[in-house]
Amino acid sequence: MKHKFLPVNKSEMEERGWDQVDFAYVIGDAYVDHPSFGHAVISRVLEAHGYRVGIISQPDWKDPKSIAVFGEPRLGFLVSAGNMDSMVNHYSVSKKRRRTDAYTPGGKMGKRPDYACAVYGNLIRQTYKKTPVILGGIEASLRRLAHYDYWSDRIKRSILLDSGADMISYGMGEHSIVEIADALDAGIPVEELTYIAGTVVKVRDKDRIPDAEFLPSFAELTEDRLAYAKSFYTQYRNTDPFQAKQLAEPYSDHLWVVQNPPSLPLSTEEMDDVYGLDYARTYHPSYEEKGGVPAISEIRFSLISSRGCFGGCSFCALTFHQGRIVQVRSHDSLLKEAEAITHEPDFKGYIHDVGGPTANFRHPSCAKQTRCGVCKDRQCLFPAPCRNLDADHSDYVRLLKKLRDIPEVKKVFIRSGIRFDYLLAEKKDHFLRELCEYHVSGQLKVAPEHVSDPVLSLMGKPEHAVYTKFTEKFEQMNRKLGKKQYLVPYLMSSHPGSTLKEAVKLAEYCRDLGYMPEQVQDFYPTPSTLSTCMYYTGVDPRTMKPVYVPRSPHEKAMQRALIQYKNPELYDLVNEALHRAGRTDLIGYGPRCLIRPRRNGEKSGSSGERKPGASRERKPGMSGRGNGTAAPGRPKKKKTIRNIHRKKDNRR
């Protein structure tokens, strides 16, 4: 165990008896050797294939010497911005700088640059002019072709060109990175590696791309938003490894960026091999004195059971990164990892999660996907479950029971998300019963996202009636089990298609539920999602029909404020939104009103005039249907989600 971690400096490299690394891996995150971190997986996969990898974590991007830690690597540099796009990592949806970075020691912000892949790539090129540079990770994957960049509000070129790199290994990368390494090790020049699945490359001779589908040129994309919508949808329909075509994006008469079809999904045996590698399962010990790496706390006692998602949410980039074909680990692999977790010093008996992008997806949505791929023009769950959908939780239920039976395990939680429409598509209720009886701790977080069906349609989500049916079945099951457990809905404001009218409807839903969320997710236009394409172009690329897009920061603030209408600090925004939406009927003293009128001369942010005998406005965070407070002399009862639903139960 002397060499538990890969080397992070030259002295550690020499301790291993190496005079040179094959690959120097430059990463924007702290070095965490855990399979939830992309750099850990890729570096360990390369190590398992006999390659020497050194880690250069969060180099000083203003100093070229910071990437020369190991000297020139024998085969090339690998570059990743980290587990998040660097711009999402740095900025909120309002483009304000975040204060902390969970992927940096001590949570310190500012240890990586904006557009990290491009900056690191150019930093390397200052010293190493000819050494191969291969980009990977989420930032490179989602920016692999021309893309809309929310932070600069313009179409940007493929990151391959802006970084000075030679190739992009997109997606999860295990297959493509080994093929790249083997080719370079065999002496094939990097510019000749134009054929590897799961890669994006530069081509300067059009005759070398005879079978590609040509996209509009970069010049066309910057001039015509509809051309961008059509180009994006072509890319969206070519994300399946079995059916996708090679795509070519012209930048000049002598330069094309070419995307090869995605790599094939991993088999269960390959998944087991990847997650069974010799990970240290924690951050590098050099970070201990800085307070460790905060991100490890979220995943340290969790199990990744699957990857890929056939949910098809428009605002999610998983289609472009992991794909729609679900890939899973075996029970034996997961049980072995769970056993190992129970022996860690800080383990208290709780496995925090068993899942992936969607926890209850444990196999491909239908049998044909592993042979023929996913349908280009049909979704598995949207607008309704496909008739060929194999909605079966049996395997997941068996896995969860085995995990519960491990003697040291007290509780197994499911926190990575339940797709409720898929749960309802199963004829039996055995998973819902297991979920409620064993895997919820009081509250289950779910993501209906909205209540307006037109908005949900643009989101790629089921109609609101489907969520309503799920809430009823969830309540029924908990009553049957004698449990008091409640749903906590995730809601999104300002998604394309949402006018103030739809935002008011969402506020009314929160009123009727007696629930004001402490946080609301304002739609964030991240690279390479259908929703981001709608945001930029004003059309749905699937139909090319116009879509209303709330773009102004003020309107977005009003939509967000409506969901949190009980917060006195947001009174002015809610009041303005209701006037603009023509819903002044919701300003008053009745039980269905959202806010009270404000008398003349009253200060901004006030809750409004109080009628004689009427109760005071609640403080932010309080919720419930009425506006009452505790009787004089009686202690106030804290109004939580649990208490709200208990009231609803008593009214029945």
Residue-level length of the chain: 652
The C-alpha atoms of residue 173 and residue 180 are separated, in whole angstroms, by: 10
Instruction: Tell me the two tokens of residue 623.
Output: 């919720």
- Ranges of each domain in the chain: 10-200, 301-441, 444-652
The C-alpha atoms of residue 377 and residue 48 are separated, in whole angstroms, by: 39
State the binding site: 309, 313, 316
* pLDDT number for residue 604: 55
pLDDT tens for each residue of 192-228 = 999 999 999 999 999 999 889 999 999 999 999 999 9
* pLDDT number for residue 601: 54
- What SS3 state is found at 341? helix
Tell the residue number behind the tokens 């690329």, with chain if given.
541
The C-alpha atoms of residue 146 and residue 630 are separated, in whole angstroms, by: 58
What CATH number labels 301-441? 3.30.750.210
pTM exceeds 0.85 for this model: yes
For the chain, which ranges sit under pLDDT 70? Answer: 1-3, 599-652
Instruction: Tell me 273's DSSP state.
Output: H
Which amino acid is it at 630?
Answer: A
pLDDT tens for each residue of 339-392 = 999 999 899 999 999 999 999 999 999 988 888 899 988 899 999 999 999 999
Nearest Cα neighbor of 322 from 279, 263, 277, 363 is: 263
State the binding site for [4Fe-4S] cluster: 309, 313, 316
* pLDDT number for residue 298: 86
Query: Which option is the CATH number for 444-652: 3.40.50.720, 3.30.750.200, 3.40.50.10210, 2.120.10.30?
Result: 3.30.750.200
Instruction: Tell me the two tokens of residue 74.
Output: 């024998």
Dihedral sign computed on CA atoms, order 414, 416, 421, 426: negative
Residue ranges of E strands in 409-516: 411-412, 443-449, 486-493
Q: Which residues contact 622 (CB under 8 A, 6 or more apart)?
A: 516, 566, 639
* pLDDT number for residue 428: 86
- Answer whether 10-200 and 301-441 agree in fold: no
* pLDDT number for residue 146: 98
Residue ranges of E strands in 323-386: 327-328, 350-351, 353-355
The C-alpha atoms of residue 105 and residue 82 are separated, in whole angstroms, by: 14
Query: Which option is the CATH number for 10-200: 3.40.50.280, 3.40.50.150, 1.10.3720.10, 1.10.260.40?
Result: 3.40.50.280
